[in-house]
Amino acid sequence: MSNLLKIQALFISSALLMFGGGLQGLLLSVRGAEEGFSIFALGLIGTGWSIGFIAGSIFVPLVVRRTGHIRAYSVMAALGTLAILLNLLWISELGWSVLRILSGFCFAGAAMIVESWLNEVSDNKSRGTIFSLYVMINMAFLTLGQLAISYTGILGYLPFIVGAMAFVLALLPTALTTRQQPRPLTSAKIDLALLLRTSPIAVIASFCVGIANGTFYTLAPVLGFSQGLSATSIAQFMSVAMVLGALSQVPCGRLSDKIDRRWVIMGAGLTASVMGLVLAFVHPSEGWLLYVLFGFYGFAAFPIHAVAVAHANDAAKEGQFAPIAAGMLLTFGFGLAIGPLISAWLMNDFMPSYMFLVTAAFHGILAISAFIRMKVRPIENPEDHAPFRAVPMERSSTATTMTLDPRAEENTKN
């Protein structure tokens, strides 16, 4: 409790940051469609965010070393606020693509600073509790940010102002804190070769899930708009998918603790692939079927990456968890950038619902790959599993998230 009281300001900052990020991400997809942006441009906007997020993960530690955590966080929040306000003033396909890169950069930087600070003030006894609370706050306020569209709407200036207010307010708790700043920001070293040697299926899972999730986050709202759904309905079905995806991490993770985790990856990938095919060809309109299908899709698709992280951790040696998990996030980021572009082409040249053919294809590839890997490498012994832990939605995770995860401090075997 003492540690939690010390870092309540960081939790508040993280909550506001996630709220603004959730609102902005959904707003730009739906408002861009309303403004008549081409589907390819909307996909490019999603790709821009991923490029900025990857760049921020790489370069923000250099900024923090020069200026310190508080000043660097203030810069990230200020630039993030500037980006969303310029989204309102510079409404164009080119403008939003460029500004989305800036938003991704600032979001990654701000998240890394908060996570580094949390890592500094936690110890081995409190790390698990702090990480779990951080995960819950991220998921809850990211969803609330999306649902805020139901009240602000997508037209006019109000949603942009609300998002800007969230980013500005996010810097106040850290700027006013009397706590001493932590040591210079450090993040996990990324070693893709180590990841590939340790768990090839983890590489495949990260890339395939990145493509599928990038497609879903960026273009599912556009699909809803093309079907004439209201902003409220779009926010609701996106939130249903994300909430069920977050909740399904626990049962999927617990099941993977008891059996070969690759069976869970294969089963979830196959289920998500089937749901993608259904969504591609059924064309559900507003109503209960729409929410059911999106809910089942999120329930199957979103826990895959967390199970893959756990599988890679089982095969890692002592001290390797953080660089392996960070490598998975980088691979995920590449997929996240590619997915919207592939899907936008299909949506533009064929049918909007064909975006789910991309998710179905890559979830299917993942399921087949998991089955092949089980034939190549002997069935793993569940008794050797490290306990599963839920993780934040990958789109809001950085390499520093992995240093905060308690598994970074635990000894693994194999």
Query: Helix/strand/coil (H, E, C) string of 118-182?
Result: HHHHCCCCCHHHHHHHHHHHHHHHHHHHHHCHHHHCCCCCHHHHHHHHHHHHHHHHHHHCCCCCC
pLDDT class of 81 with cuts at 50, 70, 90: very high
pLDDT at 158: 93
| Residues 218 and 347 sit within 8 Å (Cβ to Cβ) | no
Please, which contacts does 173-178 make with residues 24 or more away whose CB atoms are closer than 8 Å? 173/8, 173/9, 173/10, 173/12, 173/13, 174/9, 174/10, 174/13, 174/69, 174/70, 174/73, 174/74, 174/114, 174/117, 175/70, 175/73, 175/74, 176/9, 177/9, 177/70
pLDDT at 411: 44
| Residues 326 and 188 sit within 8 Å (Cβ to Cβ) | yes
Residue 279 has pLDDT above 80, yes or no: yes
- State the CB neighbour count (10 A cutoff) for residue 178: 5
Of 71-85, 348-362, 380-394, which range is least confident?
380-394
pLDDT at 140: 87
The CA-based angle 192-59-103, given to 5 degrees, is 105
pLDDT at 86: 94
Instruction: Answer with the residue of higher pLDDT: 363 or 134.
Output: 363
- Could you tell me which residues come within 8 angstroms of residue 7 by beta carbon, excluding any fewer than 6 positions away? 117, 118, 121, 122, 130
Query: In angstroms, rounded to a whole number, what is the distance separating the alpha carbons of residues 210 and 336?
Result: 4
| Residues 300 and 272 sit within 8 Å (Cβ to Cβ) | yes
The average pLDDT across 223-241 equals 88
The H or E element containing residue 6 is: helix 2-6
Residue 387 has pLDDT above 90, yes or no: no
Highest mean pLDDT: which range of 50-54, 78-82, 251-255, 319-323: 78-82
pLDDT class of 165 with cuts at 50, 70, 90: very high
Give the chain's mean pLDDT: 82
Residue 413 has pLDDT above 50, yes or no: no
The average pLDDT across 345-361 equals 90
With H, G, I as helix, E, B as strand and everything else as coil, classify residue 186: coil
Helices (H), 227-354: 231-247, 249-258, 261-282, 288-301, 304-315, 321-349
**Amino acid type, 186:** T
DSSP state of 381: P
Q: By percentage, how much of the chain surpasses pLDDT 90?
A: 28
Residue 12 has pLDDT above 90, yes or no: no
pLDDT at 282: 85
Give whole-number Cα distances, 104 to 25, 205, 287, in Å. 10, 23, 33
The average pLDDT across 336-362 equals 90
Helices (H), 316-404: 321-349, 355-376, 399-404
| Torsion sign, CA atoms 273, 276, 277, 282 | positive
**Amino acid type, 263:** W
Burial class (CB in 10 A: 0-12, 13-18, 19+), 156: exposed
pLDDT class of 118 with cuts at 50, 70, 90: confident
Instruction: Answer with the residue of higher pLDDT: 176 or 209.
Output: 209
Predicted structure pTM score: 0.84
- Could you tell me which residues come within 8 angstroms of residue 149 by beta carbon, excluding any fewer than 6 positions away? 23, 26, 27, 30, 159, 231, 232, 234, 235
pLDDT at 69: 76
> Per residue in 252-265, pLDDT tens?
888 888 888 889 99
> Per residue in 143-155, pLDDT tens?
899 999 988 888 8
pLDDT at 198: 72
- State the CB neighbour count (10 A cutoff) for residue 1: 7
pLDDT at 56: 84
Query: In angstroms, rounded to a whole number, what is the distance separating the alpha carbons of residues 278 and 343?
Result: 16
> Per residue in 311-345, pLDDT tens?
877 776 666 666 676 777 788 888 888 999 999 99
Q: Please, what are the domains in the chain? A: 2-176 (1.20.1250.20), 192-408 (1.20.1250.20)
- What are the tokens at 365? 């590839």
